[in-house]
Structure 1
């Protein structure tokens, strides 16, 4: 049965995208471990937004969340049919790997003729404290300084991309992780 499903999926992929190299394989093991390992040699990993797991109510499945955080290549999370794509959401963290994800998202958005939502979520616990400008000042953030620093990180990660893809509209979202999680559950 698995071979038949794979053969059908391969045939459909080749029909939809004849210029794309398609391969198939049956790999046994824990899905998260296998997919993360496969991402090391892949150019793109595509997963559905929801799996067959028991985390009811999640907007995105736990496999997609894990791969987005730990995959070694761009991860494309595909929503169910019938849910129109208004924008491509890309997580921005300021890293070199994250820069690759931003580049990929802009290229895909241009091809798909949709916009980008550039998203950066942060917590006070994972954000570095900026050094004081004057050593006589106490080593502490002024109110709002951390949020401003995280906003700068997001905007700096987008530098040059908007000029390279002038037809792609960009919306930026930068907020503490907890607030972002609460807002995303309202969709």
Structure 2
């Protein structure tokens, strides 16, 4: 996570209603963190060798380049109305939207975008740009979806893998900034392989397993009280599949935080199944936090 003093909150815009919602969400994030908000629009048309200027004899302000400028200008106006006094900048960058936003990640503390853009198909629950950016960006990615709430907890999914610590830390910071509780949710079905080559037992003690899973969750949130002494942390260990449990929990949450890959994720998968499900089905904004490296 890029937490340097110069790191901005970056939001991608394309003129859609989803993008305007993302701008409002990003403006709130930047204001809470006292960071600059950087608004960017990925302008793909030059790459496709499409004329971008106003056509001969066309009305003033016509043409794709002028349209892109309006997208950015309107987004700046939206951000300033959402958080008066916020430092805001805007830029049009030639390139495909996902590539442009991923390129912003090294100098961003957070990237915010809508779940679908103007080109989204109705049959797609979440757009390919959101999935690509969440998969490849080197900073947390916040996707505006579901219902915007100012009440309710921040929920983080914990599975004990390498992505859990950065996800838990991000979620704790979010809960502290929002003045809300943090709910850490850990789910389990049966014993899992802890190390490469481990064999799963055919017979196991249910009570012992429950104790071990609770201990795993407790260890995952240990130390939060020292960094955020005023933060109330709730721990929930639930037997069941993580995706539907987190989806149900998101119905009462301000924010759902998940790791980019889960325990047992295959390297060939772009995103873990739980984070994919959260992006498609959660009923609140979703933050995807990948482990560094």
Q: Gapped runs of 5+ residues in structure 2?
A: 1-66, 252-293
Counterpart position of 1:179: 241
Structure 2 residue 179 is matched with structure 1 residue 104: no
1 or 2, which has the higher strand percentage?
2
RMSD between aligned alpha carbons? 4.1
Structure 2 residue 128 is matched with structure 1 residue 77: no
Structure 2 residue 95 is matched with structure 1 residue 38: no
CA apart distance, 1:172: 3.8
CA apart distance, 1:6: 0.9
Match of 1:170 among 219, 229, 233: 233
CA apart distance, 1:72: 1.5
Partners of 1:51 and 1:8 in 2: CA distance = 18
Partners of 1:170 and 1:183 in 2: CA distance = 18
Partners of 1:173 and 1:55 in 2: CA distance = 35
Match of 1:157 among 208, 213, 220: 220
Structure 2 residue 110 is matched with structure 1 residue 54: no
Q: 3-state SS of the aligned residue for 1:128?
A: coil
CA apart distance, 1:43: 0.8
Counterpart position of 2:74: 8
Partners of 2:95 and 2:189 in 1: CA distance = 34
Offset from partner CA, 1:4-56 (integer Å, 9 cap, x none)? 12122224334516355x332223444334333322221111123x3143374
Match of 1:118 among 184, 196, 204: 184
CA apart distance, 1:174: 5.3
Counterparts in 2 of 1:184 and 1:174: CA distance versus 1, 3 Å: same
| Alpha carbons 2:188, 2:242 under 8 Å: kept | no
Partners of 1:129 and 1:147 in 2: CA distance = 19
Q: 3-state SS of the aligned residue for 2:75?
A: helix
Offset from partner CA, 1:62-107 (integer Å, 9 cap, x none)? 5445544543112223346654441223344556765344323222
Counterparts in 2 of 1:91 and 1:25: CA distance versus 1, 3 Å: farther
Partners of 1:96 and 1:17 in 2: CA distance = 39
TM-score (structure 2 length as normaliser): 0.45
| Alpha carbons 2:189, 2:241 under 8 Å: kept | no
Instruction: Answer 1 or 2: higher relative contact order, Cα 8 Å, separation at least 6.
Output: 2
| Alpha carbons 1:55, 1:61 under 8 Å: kept | no
Counterparts in 2 of 1:68 and 1:89: CA distance versus 1, 3 Å: farther
| Alpha carbons 1:106, 1:161 under 8 Å: kept | yes
Q: 3-state SS of the aligned residue for 1:155?
A: helix
Question: How many pairs align?
Answer: 177
| Alpha carbons 2:98, 2:133 under 8 Å: kept | yes
Match of 1:25 among 85, 91, 102: 91
